[in-house]
Amino acid sequence: MELTSTILVCFILSSTLVNSMAVDIIRMHQTFRDGDTITSAGGEFELGFFSPGSSTNRYLGIWYRKISRGTVVWVANRDNPLMNTSGLVQVNHKGISLQLVDNSTGIIWSSNTSVSMRNPVAQLLDTGNLVLREGHLSFNGVKDFIWQSFDHPGDNFLPGMKHGIDLVTGLNWIFSSWTSVVDPSLGNFTSGLDPNGFPQFFVLKDSMIWTRIGPWNGHKFSGLPNRNPNGIFKDVFVFNEKEIYYKFHLINTNTTSAIMRFVLTPTGDAKLLVWNDPQKIWMVYLSMQDSDCDRYGLCGVYGVCKINSTPRCECLRGFVPKFPEKWKAADWSSGCIRKTDLVCGSDEGFVKYSGLKLPDTRHSWYDSKMNLQECEMVCWKNCSCTAYAIAEFRRGGHGCILWFNDLIDIRDFTEDGQDIYVRMPSSELVISRRVKWMPEFIFIAAVLAVVLLGLIFFLVYKKKKLQKKESLKLNLETVALTKIENEDPELPSFDFQSITNATSNFSQDNKLGEGGFGPVYKGMLTDGLEIAVKRLSRNSSQGLDEFKNEVSCIAKLQHRNLVTLLGCCTEKDERILIYEYMANKSLDSFIFDNNVRTTLDWPKLYNIINGIARGLLYLHQDSKLRIIHRDLKASNILLDHDMNPKISDFGIARTFVGNESEANTSRVIGTYGYMSPEYAIDGKFSVKSDVYSFGVLLIEIISGVQNRSFSHPDHSFNLLGHAWMSYKHDKLLEVIDRTILEHSNHFEVFRVVQIGLLCVQQDPKDRPVMSQVVLMISSDMKLPRPKQPGFFTERYLSHLNPSSSNQLTITTLLPRE
């Protein structure tokens, strides 16, 4: 009898004191009160009662346990708070639902399930999902869930959750913001899928559209840039007759740097957050509302929002503002109208617009099997069809979207945008064809002009003396130089006398150095501003084209990690560039000088690396035009008074427009040791060429040795080869400069070497883009294993003088680009 009583008491205690043991389950006869918690099996999440911020209200919620403890991802009774700590959670006796009970008022929240179970249990999973299932059966995943919190989301979108609609059951996975940071009740903003027309996601403010994420195109959402960091998560979009939804899965779940979540803030911004474990903070990796161009319909119908333009909105080609006066006053809501009305049955056609976010598709029609030609034919036959586009990029592009109303909510995406074909009258088609053939016409005219000028020069050469020919050449260059100043009126023009005075008549005492362009002098203007003066030498390997290219490129760039061009001087046939003065000269004067190198501690070097990466990211992705530098090296990284890096020397840079991402050239220009294999051998260059140069620079910074001048008694590899073999054999200490090893975090340094090796991989497809590199540098995300670098043996050029390799420029004797 005593034994039976003891067993009974033990059973009662085990069933009532949930908080006394680490369990992930609440059973039917257990009591779960305010102060009790349950933890998921792997310890990732915790369920219990909490009060947000300064609020005294009590809520039942789920939050992270291992990291960012207190970050709540789900709330049960968000609109029915408890006013005290009398809350009680129970699985009711009939097994119908999970309930939250207030002792004084009764049930204040319930899961409202209608399936009867013999032995119901509530379980918290390591995904953050709270589920209700049959406890006596083996657990086989989602099919066994009678109810789950993932079907009733709040403001957080976690890996594995669905965002969309179940077309069979009508279940709508909608996310909604909190009212404020201390009030989890239903806020003003909701995010959901609209299945009308071609399905797309919206964020609503109350019942009005706030922003539109756009339709899925097989690769990404039309309204978002492509910024999925390599190796962190995988997008999944399901679109069939039963359900339409999006979700994402973490690929590398074994590290805290891979923890990600979307959150819809009380102000309506949907953000993708990444956990930064070293700093113990959530970092914003992507914001759905980066600019006012993300506001729905900002530019009205047929208006395009351009983030880098002033004014922000402009009409599609062939359209004009409906109310010009409002347009001038920055009220673009009325949109644009056609210059010429459409007339059904007339000679109409389509004009292609590229690099855009596709318009609102709620009133569209789609067919998943059509190709582009079939799509065009269907739209052309229907006079109500205003535009068409390919639905998916995958498998070469397929699927057709047709619009039957005015086009609204369009913005430019130079890098990640799509093509759309808009119906136009014949008059606009003539203009469009003229614009389309204009480059070819200009090219033919230019060729004819060159031939004609060549003939003229040949006749002049026969008739006149060499002196007259040189005089003519100087006159032509003077005209060209004057044209440079006229083309960019915002760039200040300095008179030659003021530059002469500032540099003490280009005194040798003021000379800072000399490169392929010519000598560089330190100067001081009359207002006390220190400047760096770059003067083209008469015998320089660079000429008028490089001078014009540098002016046109860098004058339009504004970034803290790019050198600032203050102006130019073209008087007296001079070609002079005036820059802000960099007190600490160039990076190579520090990292390759054993005496000076010791003044750079690891935090300063890490800041320099991060700054160079961010400057390069701006050139590749965030500037108005994508710019490929083509000559990134240590001597072209200047350091200001605070040792902040600034990328310089844009003489051979190339600009890309629209969807251009790579090009070929027969004139390979650059510096040996920094040039990628595909560029040096085949003349192919892209953003990945600059990434390769950046990788070389990283390894040089860490080792303190130039790639081309490196030598080792045990092998003939260059610096890249040495780093690669050291990495393969777990001997990275042999790569790192001793000064860095003595005063640094070894893990951080090893990581930078690995990032460098990822950047110099042989195949450009294997190299990361700069947005991924910046994330790698600023987080501790797991890095993939690098493959063999390009040019890692490169000893067939060993007859060149290593001491001058940093300045060596190569040019094939072929026509200019």
- DSSP letter for each residue of 774-810: HHHHHS-PPPPPP-PBTTSS--TTTTS-GGGGGG-EE
Exposure of 422 by Cβ count < 10 A (0-12 exposed, 13-18 middle, 19+ buried)?
buried
Q: Nearest 5°: CA angle at 539, between 535 and 542?
A: 65
Distances 428 to 60, 265, 362, 410, 586 between C-alpha atoms, Å: 62, 44, 27, 20, 53
- Closest by CA to 247, choosing from 286, 193, 283, is 193
* Residue partners of 812: CB distance under 8 A and separation at least 6: 666, 667, 668, 683
Radius of gyration of the chain (CA): 33
Bridge partner residues of 283 (DSSP): 274
Buried b (16+ CB within 10 A) or exposed e, 515-544: bbbbbbbbbeeeeeeebbbbbbeeebebee
Bridge partner residues of 190 (DSSP): 176, 204
* Beta strand 410-411 pairing with 303-305: parallel
Instruction: Confirm whether 649 is a catalytic residue.
Output: no
The CA distance from 167 to 152, in Å, is 16
The CA distance from 21 to 14, in Å, is 9
The CA distance from 687 to 679, in Å, is 11
- The answer to whether 157 and 250 are in contact (CB under 8 A) is no
* Residue partners of 786: CB distance under 8 A and separation at least 6: 724, 727, 754, 757, 758, 761
The CA distance from 600 to 740, in Å, is 9
Exposure of 151 by Cβ count < 10 A (0-12 exposed, 13-18 middle, 19+ buried)?
middle
Residue 406 amino acid letter = D
- The answer to whether 271 and 287 are in contact (CB under 8 A) is yes
The CA distance from 176 to 199, in Å, is 19
- Four-point Cα dihedral 810, 812, 815, 816, nearest 10: -10
For tokens 């600023």, what's the residue? 778
Q: Is 445 helix (H, G, I), strand (E, B) or coil?
A: helix
- Closest by CA to 190, choosing from 239, 224, 153, is 153
| Two structure tokens written together for 552 | 């046109």
- Closest by CA to 244, choosing from 148, 161, 166, 321, is 166
* Residue partners of 8: CB distance under 8 A and separation at least 6: none
Among candidate residues 102, 631, 737, 780, the one labeled active-site is: 631
The CA distance from 317 to 336, in Å, is 10
What letter does residue 468 receive in the DSSP assignment? Answer: H
User: How many alpha carbons lie under 13 Å from residue 577 in its C-beta half-sphere?
Assistant: 29
* Residue partners of 239: CB distance under 8 A and separation at least 6: 199, 216
The CA distance from 224 to 465, in Å, is 63
What letter does residue 365 receive in the DSSP assignment? Answer: E
- The answer to whether 719 and 726 are in contact (CB under 8 A) is no
Q: Which residues are catalytic?
A: 631
